[in-house]
A and B are shown apart, each in its own frame.
Chain A
């Protein structure tokens, strides 16, 4: 028989590097003839369980055997390890947001008319959920489409006291054009994140198709 300390080391190590929970039978198979017996194994497992008191992990018995697992109370810290990097809004969402800000109150139909493509209801919902836009009324036309405007939260996020702190269109042009010229030379990824690999105009369409729930516009608006 091996020394108890050695057996304990082996059992602990095996439980920590196995892909699956281990039963006492499986653990026993790690040992050569005469190195360890079942009663010893069982008492070793108990002692390992006791050692876990106050530690970050516990030895848990699940249906298919024993395994070490991180205590559930540590989940908030562990979660940070897998936290997603913040996602990015697609170009379509940003355009919708910009049009709502500058042309409010607007309906989806209004936005679609300017953008030339259908506006996905998910995009509007995302902006509503974020509390950046709100329904300010309904246009009295068939279908009573909702009209959207921006919110206080929107202003706060962008650190604006009121909407007229946003630049005017000529100001935007003056502001944007140098950037766009630079982008034309430098490659598009600066503005759009990793997705853009095509010439600008085709991307818009491609993205639309990706993100738009296909809903015929005519049906929706009437």
Chain B
């Protein structure tokens, strides 16, 4: 064996070296920020302290750049029990129960290391949920990739899908839905966003605060290794395709261990909720972020003895111990004197559970190592990165754009429909999501393939609907309207299942915010989402920001992913997209606007998107959705499907897939309109007996299109052309295209 180095810190640069070589800049701190630290401390920070600040003041941990925008989010209504700022947001769903949810990005790690990046993304988001004391019940994923035919994309898809499956399946939380889009803008910056949803008994509502001097800080779960060090700063930096050095920031996940940690944490909160004053998962910037934030929220100090931290590798330094992003670790703060009982739950599950420090009342964040004090900084200073106000400029492409619409070329409408169904963005993703266990826990009522996933709340009449949505072609053409559209689309997917939208989370994936045009896109998208959130009464209760999604100076399209949850008060209201019986009347609900800018057909026919979007009448969109919801809840309808990418033609095909039926429809418009895209449109089937009540409810909003037939043919007669095609023909385009392109 090698001789142990007596002091692992011996080779670290001293404070003066750090100042003169500006080492801190490589870690993401600016000179101005460094100077602030020196001023506040009244001395030069040492290596460990500099590391603490670099992590805590990274955008990933501090949101210093996005905060001015995030602060504008509307996040309060009568349901909100916990808004943004904690591991996850919480909404009241009645009966003393609550739903807990959040979304998280793992873009950079997944680009470098698709399997582990995606797996640890699922892992991290689940920890956010169960650290609130909630039982995770579902995972969703929102994935954006580049050209589906490129080898690089295929390798990414393979890895990401296997990583999500490998983690979610093993830990036993169903992956019930998500989205997968393809566009060249993501070729070098794929996006991997995951969302998790949990259920919480309101008596166990817990927030991560370290109250009470003398209370003990308990470390539970896996040992700490050198993985993922500086992951938070890594996530806050731009990509340079010529560099492979970023690879050291890869963490490896162990779903088996996390399941033990999850079950034990939930059990501990259930049994000892009264003496556990805070719970926080170790995510980005591991130990420092979890402990410092808890101390700060309680207005307390904290002292940690790093020699107690269970270590997987030898000779780890305080810097490494504090910044490691090893997975499957949690911090609990427990009232003094009760730690043994809490520890027992974890040790019974063969997990580490070790007291590593205590809460103090001096508001300092202090670390000891090998008997010496190695860091001593004010807690509130460490956790409040200096604010940054960034300039905004409207990008030239937006200034110049007009709403003059692209006119699609439709010489053979049947061929166009088939071609649309084969587009990777539209075609069925079943060949890929089939790798995800969507039915473990035996609560999944609507599985992947519907508009939103639906998971019942066992032991009650309730169910929860959930979806993730974003079409970044819209946000690229108009960030504000695209933002509105994203949340409206999420809501239309939720109401289509018969659920009332109750709240949202988001993942704001953008380029470098220091570019005023990108900051403008960010601010505008958020404003668009926020406006609609208030109209439809879905507060923003959690979210995540992923900036610097650029390669060699080119940013991705603005991609503000929206994750929404809806509530079914009765499982009887659950409605699915498939046509149910021949003879049912088919309606279009909502206004079919001939809008082609940003549409799938524009992209398909021209290879790109261009032009401005029509402004959205949000109140009208909301009114249509409210009627759809009422129709579902009154059981007037047999099926509902929202009309999204590919327009009415695609949606009309989709309601027939997997059924023995066809449809005969008439559209009082040119055939091109069957491929136009606008928010808040639905295709609905109604039994003849309900036709009158349905029409009375809908008023002008419903247009009768025709009926479901026994003959399995889709016939759509427009003013100028007719689509006439066997359902099995279009269905095979939909089912097989993506899978074939991936071969």
A binds B: no
Interface of A with B (CB < 8 Å)?
Answer: none
